[in-house]
């Protein structure tokens, strides 16, 4: 059995006999996009602005544009993908090739290259991809997001893949794979799990949006407590590598609270919703620090929605919720 067949078999634990295109076409297309981006990053010794901005006003890098093209190419070649939107071009584009009523079709929302601000010093960055059952990601029950992938570009190219199907939540899977340049993969861990029993001795925290601690004494107190209690700091400034660090180590909490002076930067469609699905499929929690609600609780009304994030080991997220919200 090939590595790809082994991965498909592993993911089909979550789908049963349903959603065949998800496991044998859509997810492989996303992995090929990650592999192509990894090759381009290794060759892009000069990371420059592309002379353009995306629709949100963010300056685009040459590698941002390339990564976006790679994923769009792969999705366009996948008949099961009928709609796609990207943080680089945040308009949901109809990609269907037939007007017939089809089953087993998907919409994809993705951030092709997250962490542009830390590419210059050659730190690990990543891709974030969410897959939704049906014809659109908008105004849907968040449970319709059936899969998510985090690609990591570091010394190795790896990806964390989660699949959870409505009605089969108990069969959700979360796996980690290593990727070759041609998109072929090898399963590194077939069951990515966050520690639920508190058995891991080293405790990790990643405090994003740390400037807001100067305005919010609750966040300042929380960071001070982590230091006093000898937690280990693991924060790179990249959402993907920091969340994946937590998943690999089996423990950790990522915090990105919001204040009046340090507003939310993470977009729900392209970052928060896919990350939340992966964390939950690994047995963790992902909440909005402003309300304490699950990230996956609120339908997506438009592609520009932003929010804060606290995610990671369930027990640690609950402690943060108490500290920030009382």
% pLDDT > 90, the chain = 71
* Residue 86: predicted pLDDT: 95
CATH of domain 3-189: 3.30.540.10
Q: How far apart are CA 180 and CA 159, in angstroms?
A: 11
Cβ–Cβ under 8 Å, residues 174 and 192: yes
CA atoms in the 13 A half-sphere facing the CB of 57:
2
pLDDT score of 50 more than 60: no
> Is pLDDT of 52 > 60?
no
Give the domain ranges of the chain.
Answer: 3-189, 204-325
Starting at the edge strand found earlier in the chain, the sheet holding 253-256 runs 232-233, 204-207, 253-256, 309-312, 285-287
The label of the residue with tokens 């340090």 reads 262
pTM beyond 0.85, yes or no: yes
pLDDT value, residue 283? 97
β-strand pairing of 59-61 with 81-86: unpaired
CB 26 within 8 A of CB 78: yes
pLDDT at 158: 98
User: Crossing angle, helix 314-325 and helix 217-228, to 10 degrees?
Assistant: 140
- pLDDT category of residue 59 using cuts at 50, 70 and 90: low
Return the ∠ at Cα 262 (arms to 261 and 267), rounded to 5°.
Answer: 135
The pLDDT tens digits of the residues spanning 72-86 come to 999 999 999 999 999
pLDDT at 65: 86
Give every CB contact of residue 113 below 8 A, 6+ residues apart in sequence: 37, 61, 63, 64, 67, 68, 119, 125, 126, 127
| Neighbouring C-beta atoms of residue 169, cutoff 10 Å | 12
Of 88, 78, 86, 247, which Cα lies nearest the Cα of 158? 247
Mean pLDDT of 212-240: 95
pLDDT over 90 (residue 244): yes
Any residues with CB less than 8 A from the CB of 209 and at least 6 apart, and which? 255, 256, 257, 258, 262, 265, 308
Class of domain 204-325: alpha beta
pLDDT for 272 equals 98
Task: Report which of 41, 36, 56 is spatially closest to residue 302, judged by C-alpha positions.
Answer: 56
Q: Identify the CA nearest to 175 among candidates 164, 165, 190, 163.
A: 190
pLDDT tens for 85-140 read 999 889 999 988 764 557 789 999 999 999 878 988 889 999 999 999 999 999 99
pLDDT computed for residue 99 by the predictor: 46
The mean pLDDT of 187-212, rounded to a whole number, is: 92
Question: What would the pLDDT profile of 272-306 be if each residue is shown by its tens digit?
Answer: 999 999 999 999 999 999 999 999 999 999 999 99
The total of other beta-carbon atoms located within 10 Å of residue 152's CB is 26
């Amino acid at each position: 059995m090939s590595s790809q067949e082994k991965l498909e078999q592993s993911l089909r634990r979550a789908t049963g006999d349903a959603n065949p295109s998800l496991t044998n076409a859509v997810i492989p297309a996303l992995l090929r996009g990650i592999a192509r981006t990894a090759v381009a990053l290794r060759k892009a010794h000069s990371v420059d602005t592309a002379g353009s901005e995306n629709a949100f006003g963010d300056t685009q890098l040459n590698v941002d544009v390339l990564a976006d093209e790679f994923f769009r190419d792969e999705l366009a070649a996948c008949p099961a993908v009928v709609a796609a939107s990207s943080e680089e071009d945040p308009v949901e584009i109809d990609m269907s090739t037939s007007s017939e009523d089809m089953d087993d079709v998907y919409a994809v929302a993705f951030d092709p290259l997250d962490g542009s601000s830390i590419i210059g010093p050659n730190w690990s960055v990543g891709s974030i991809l969410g897959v939704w059952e049906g014809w659109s990601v908008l105004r849907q029950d968040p449970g319709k997001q059936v899969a998510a992938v985090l690609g990591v570009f570091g010394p190795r190219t790896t990806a964390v893949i989660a699949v959870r199907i409505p009605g089969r939540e108990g069969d959700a899977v979360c796996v980690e794979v290593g990727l070759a340049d041609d998109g072929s993969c090898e399963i590194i861990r077939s069951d990515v799990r966050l520690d639920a029993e508190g058995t891991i001795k080293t405790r990790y925290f990643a405090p994003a949006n740390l400037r807001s601690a100067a305005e919010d004494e609750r966040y300042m107190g929380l960071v001070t407590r982590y230091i006093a209690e000898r937690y280990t700091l693991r924060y790179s400034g990249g959402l993907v590598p920091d969340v994946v660090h937590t998943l690999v180590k089996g423990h950790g909490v990522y915090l990105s609270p919001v204040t009046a002076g340090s507003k939310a930067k993470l977009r729900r469609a392209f970052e928060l919703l896919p990350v939340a699905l992966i964390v939950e499929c690994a047995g963790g929690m992902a909440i909005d620090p402003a309300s304490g609600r699950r990230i996956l609780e609120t339908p997506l009304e438009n592609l520009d929605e932003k929010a804060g994030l606290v995610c990671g080991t369930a027990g640690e997220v609950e402690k943060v919720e108490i500290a920030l919200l009382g």
